[in-house]
Amino acid sequence: MGTVKENKLVSPFFLFYLIHSTQTGVGMLKFQANIIKGAGNDSWLSVLIFGLFLHLVLWMMLYILKQSNEGDIISFHQSVFGKYIGNVMNLILAIYFGMSSLFAFHTYVDILQIWVFDGIAAWEFSLLLSVIIFYVVAGGFRIITAISFFGVIIPALTLFLFLYLFEYIDLTYVKPFFNHDLKDYVISAKEAATIFLGFETVLVYYPFINERKKANKWGYLAILTSTLLYTITAFFTFMFFTQEKLEHLTWPTLQMIKFIQFPFLERFEFIFIFTWLLVVMPVICVSLWASIRTIKLTIPNLKPTFILIVFLLIFNYVNGVLTQLEFSLKLATFTSMSGLFIILVYIPLLFIIAVIKNKLAKN
């Protein structure tokens, strides 16, 4: 395990794009229908509070990485828990990143089938996406960073699209404000937590960031941007749909986009879904790259290209064979629960260990 070569490093401000792009994938198209399960029309507040809380989680992550030999979670596991236990923990983390990538991949293929080409088999979409993913991930971290840049621009444009929908909103849909119990806000926060997952990949790619001390502020800004984007989107959606109707919508953002019409374009949501591929690609590729790098550094004999091909074969098998709704729900549950465990339990635990390690090193 060695230091990353200088020609593979990226500028500090790219940390903003890497973090923000991994938090705005397919979840942005459907999260509103999930978060209302608790605080209803007030659940936008849960999104805001949880997003602000994640700044603390990121601070813990950066502190952990600071105590790592190579600046990543892989070497931290090995130095704290020993070679064998540390490697097992690395492989578990690699599985989680791989499943996160698969979930984003699987969900986007599902969107294409439901909204655009319901007569085309899932494996055909899967094969086409696999070719794109192969070239992006095989191209290296700098190519993935470039894709992440575009993955930030597209969601930002979404807010401007809402200007076309102002004539349909009704402020009374979100009133009265703050009329729920604390338990309801907690339920909504739990549902909202999953949309912020993805930024934990910083635990793996952080050594590729040049001048890391300067980069940290960009990481915090990225999470703040994601928080504001989701909060504004949630609040706008609650003014657009009644709570009763929203409960029965699977893809609320896409339903709103359907209201946008141009004289020269009848089905604007088709264009929106295809351009959203640029948003989904960073989520898929960053997580997949993090998984491959973790496996590579844990088992040096395995070639990255071989690992990538194995992952893509698994992705195509899942999308071609395991097409049942039950599997999709299980995959979503596993990914969300694993992610919540990592950011709410495992990261704080590692933080405590890192603090102890630092104090022992000073004594």
**Is 360 within a domain?**
no
Span 258-313, pLDDT tens digits: 887 776 666 667 777 778 888 899 999 999 999 999 999 999 999 999 999 999 99
DSSP state at residue 301? T
**Is 186 within a domain?**
yes
Given a cut of 80, whether residue 188 has pLDDT beyond it is yes
- Euclidean distance between CA atoms 9 and 263, whole angstroms: 46
Given a cut of 70, whether residue 33 has pLDDT beyond it is yes
**Is 255 within a domain?**
yes
Question: What is the tally of structural domains in the chain?
Answer: 1
Span 231-272, pLDDT tens digits: 999 999 999 988 888 888 888 888 888 887 776 666 667 777
Could you tell me where the DSSP H helices lie in the chain?
A: 14-22, 31-39, 43-66, 73-81, 83-115, 122-138, 141-161, 182-193, 202-205, 212-240, 243-246, 252-257, 268-275, 277-298, 304-321, 325-341, 347-362
**Is 271 within a domain?**
yes
Span 47-94, pLDDT tens digits: 999 999 999 999 999 999 999 888 899 999 999 998 899 999 999 999
Say if CB 278 and CB 151 are below 8 A apart: yes
Q: What are phi and psi of 291, to 5 degrees?
A: -65, -45
| Longest CA span, the chain | 72
pTM of the entire structure?
0.92
Percent of the chain at pLDDT exceeding 90: 52
* 300: exposed, middle or buried (Cβ count in 10 Å: 0-12, 13-18, 19+): exposed
**Is 80 within a domain?**
yes
Could you tell me where the DSSP H helices lie in 25-121?
A: 31-39, 43-66, 73-81, 83-115
Q: What is the CATH number of the domain that holds 289?
A: 1.20.1740.10
**Is 1 within a domain?**
no
Q: Which range of residues forms the domain containing residue 203? A: 6-350
- Return the pLDDT at 358: 83
**Is 357 within a domain?**
no
Mean pLDDT of 16-45: 89
**Is 68 within a domain?**
yes
